Amino acid sequence: MTSTTLFDPCTLGAIPLANRVVMAPLTRNRAGVGLVPGDITAEYYAQRASAGLIISEASQISQQGQGYQDTPGIYTRAQIDGWRKVTAAVHEQGGRIVLQLWHVGRVSHVDLQPDGGQPVAPSAIRAATKVVVHNTFVDVSEPRALEIDELPGIINDFRQAAANAIEAGFDGVEVHGANGYLLEQFAKDGANARTDAYGGSVENRARLMLEVTAAVAQEIGAERTGIRISPVSPANGMSCSDPQAQYDHIVDRLDALGIAYIHVVEGATGGPRDAAPFDYDSLRRRFRGTYIANNGYDLDLATSRLAAGKADLIAFGRPFIANPDLVERLQRGVPLAEMTPATLYGGGAAGYTDYPRATDPSGH
């Protein structure tokens, strides 16, 4: 047992944190023209800057990487400039923020792709899931399998996006390797039927995720690089026949890269923590950096996991939506407000920046 609490300061790689509460990435679909985060996005994140670390909403590294309408990018000058306003607002409040780098792979629609092309994937296997296009949920489009000579370009898109994030003032980046998106599609055999150097064995299926992470770490420094993984989550139609072997190998190799952290979705994303058997302690033992635990955490579970040394930081997702002062509420034992589901995706200030703090006269 340890004496570590959720409210103790710590250092994450090169980033000093005021506490061990992490705001998990939350897609809100409110990017403006050109998929640029606007002033309202800066206000939203600044309101939540008391988190030890904010992980931004997933942001596509290219047009090809987009899977939902109105999600921000990090590949144009206007997007970099828009994000700079966000990071400045967070830093002004004393917060720390990293950008989550995203390529959705097959979880997309032709109307979002360059020249109306097919979404890309490790194999031409359609995902059993939907995306938001034209203000409604629609089935994803049929993907095409990436040619092996296209993969260096995708790795470079991640590398350049990481450089862009640092230019925009972020404290670091998180590679999105979870929740059924491109890098996880390669890692899990339910989506990857390739027979080349990126398919088949545990090592081959892990290759793209590890090459991307290595490129990002080389570009901006391993001490500012993290990755999110979800070993057993079925999100976006994913399955894997050997998750323990797959992710033990991945984490061994991530440890060798010396990156700052792994951010682990324990169980089904947004669902049961015991969705499938998996030994998360194995990942914890294999990784010398920081272990951020995610999925279904409340104060009691967070406290017990930290005290048992099972995690270093705890990520909270949806509680941050209706509770911009989540850290203070947890620390003071103030009841949490409930979010309004209808305003979760898209729209304006309603259900985004208008949730009151508990200390407000109109608060809870």
- Which residues does the annotation mark as catalytic? 181
Residues facing 229 on adjacent strands: 177, 264
Tokens of 205: 């299926």
Maximal C-alpha separation, the chain: 62
Structural element, H or E, at residue 131? strand 130-133
- In angstroms, rounded to a whole number, what is the distance separating the alpha carbons of residues 136 and 179? 21
Angle at 193 between CA 188 and CA 196, to 5 degrees: 105
- Provide the residue count of the chain: 364
CB-CB contact of 158 with 105 (8 Å): no
- In angstroms, rounded to a whole number, what is the distance separating the alpha carbons of residues 198 and 210? 11
- In angstroms, rounded to a whole number, what is the distance separating the alpha carbons of residues 341 and 270? 14
Q: Which of 130, 127, 132 is nearest to 112 (CA)?
A: 132
| CA R_g for the chain | 19
